[in-house]
A = this chain, B = another copy of it.
Amino acid sequence: MLKAEIIAIGSEMLTPYRTDTNSLWLTERLNSVGIGVQIKTVVGDDEPLLEEAIRDALRRSDVIISTGGLGPTEDDVTRKVFSRVTGRQLTLDYEVLEAIRKRLTSRGYKMTPNNERQALVPRGSTLLANPNGTAPGLKMEQDGKLIVLLPGPPRENQPMFNELVMPDLEKMSRGVRIAKRLLKVTGIGESQLDDQIAPIYTQYTNPATTILFTDSEIELHITATAESVARAEDLVEDLVDKLEEKIGDNLYSTTGQTLEEVIGDRLRLKRYTVATAESCTGGLVAERITQVPGSSDYFLGSIVSYTNEVKTALLGVPARLIDTHGPVSGEVAEAMARGIKERTGATIGLSVTGVAGPAGGTTAVPVGTVYIGLADDVMTSNRRLILPGDRHLIRWRASTAALEMVRRRYLL
Which residues of A come within 8 Å of B, CB atoms? 12-21, 23-25, 27-28, 31, 36-44, 46, 49, 52-53, 56, 60, 210, 212, 219, 221, 275-276, 278, 281-287, 289-291, 293-296, 299-307, 309-310, 313-314, 343-345, 357-359, 391-392, 395
Contacts and interface: CB of A to CB of B under 8 A. Distances in A.
Given A24-B19, A27-B15, A42-B39, A314 B310 contact: no
B300 A303 contact: no
A359 B293 CA distance: 8
A302 B302 contact: yes
A295 to B, nearest CB: 7
A197 B389 CA distance: 41
A124 to B, nearest CB: 29
B314 A221 contact: no
Closest 3 CB pairs of A and B: A282-B290, A283-B283, A283-B286
Nearest to A223: B15
A312 B395 CA distance: 29
A300 B310 contact: yes
A306 B303 CA distance: 11
17 contacts: A14-B27, A16-B28, A18-B212, A19-B23, A39-B41, A276-B304, A282-B290, A282-B299, A283-B285, A283-B302, A286-B304, A290-B304, A299-B306, A300-B309, A301-B306, A303-B303, A309-B345
A282 B295 CA distance: 10
Nearest to A285: B283
A307 B313 contact: no
Contacts of A309: 300, 344-345
A289 B293 contact: no
A24 B14 contact: no
A304 B304 contact: yes
B304 A302 contact: yes
A37 B20 contact: no
A309 B295 CA distance: 16
Choose among A23, A42, A212 the residue with the greatest number of B CB atoms under 10 Å from its CB.
A42
Given A12-B210, A38-B46, A293-B357, 9 more contacts: A16-B25, A16-B31, A19-B23, A39-B44, A282-B286, A294-B359, A300-B307, A301-B303, A313-B344
A53 B43 CA distance: 14
A213 to B, nearest CB: 11
Nearest to A14: B37
Contacts of A20: 19
Contacts of A310: 275, 300-301, 344
Choose among A40, A53, A345 the residue with the greatest number of B CB atoms under 10 Å from its CB.
A40
Contacts of A296: 306-307
Contacts of A12: 210, 212
Contact of A282 (B24, B28, B287, B307): B287
A41 B41 contact: yes
Nearest to A307: B300
Contacts of A357: 293
Given A302-B302, A314-B344, A21 B19 contact: yes
Contacts of A49: 38-39, 60
A41 B40 contact: yes
Nearest to A219: B17
Given A12-B210, A15-B210, A392 B302 contact: no
A66 to B, nearest CB: 14
Contact of A14 (B36, B278, B299, B306): B36
Contacts of A284: 283, 287
A290 B306 CA distance: 9
Contacts of A25: 16
